[in-house]
Amino acid sequence: MPDSNDADLPDGAMARPSPRLLEFLVCPVTKTTLEISKDRSELISRAARLAFPIRDGIPLLTTDTARELTDDDLKK
């Protein structure tokens, strides 16, 4: 079920996990907190330098689905 805040998402933005769920999620590699990306399509682990995709509001927290973050990505 989409989060109630998804109604104000820009076109093409993905549904995001609930804020309550995000309080419990940690990076599967480093066990550190995750940040949601500005476009709400990924969860960012700065410690692991990985971005985990969010598909249909579900975070995919596996290293095989993650993308490596560049120095430019980390500056954002």
pLDDT, tens only, 13-33: 456 677 788 889 999 999 999
Q: Which residues pair with 35 in a beta bridge?
A: 44
pLDDT reported for residue 16: 67
Distance spanning both ends of the chain, measured CA to CA: 29
pLDDT reported for residue 1: 43
pTM (2 decimals)? Answer: 0.76
Longest dimension (CA), the chain: 35
Query: Tokens for 1?
Result: 């079920």
Do the Cβ atoms of 50 and 27 come closer than 8 Å?
yes
CATH of domain 4-75: 2.20.25.10
pLDDT band per the 50, 70, 90 thresholds, residue 2:
very low
pLDDT reported for residue 15: 66
Percent of the chain with pLDDT over 70: 79
Q: Is the pLDDT of residue 62 over 80?
A: yes
Helix (H) or strand (E) holding 46: none
How far is 29 from 16, CA to CA, in rounded Å?
21
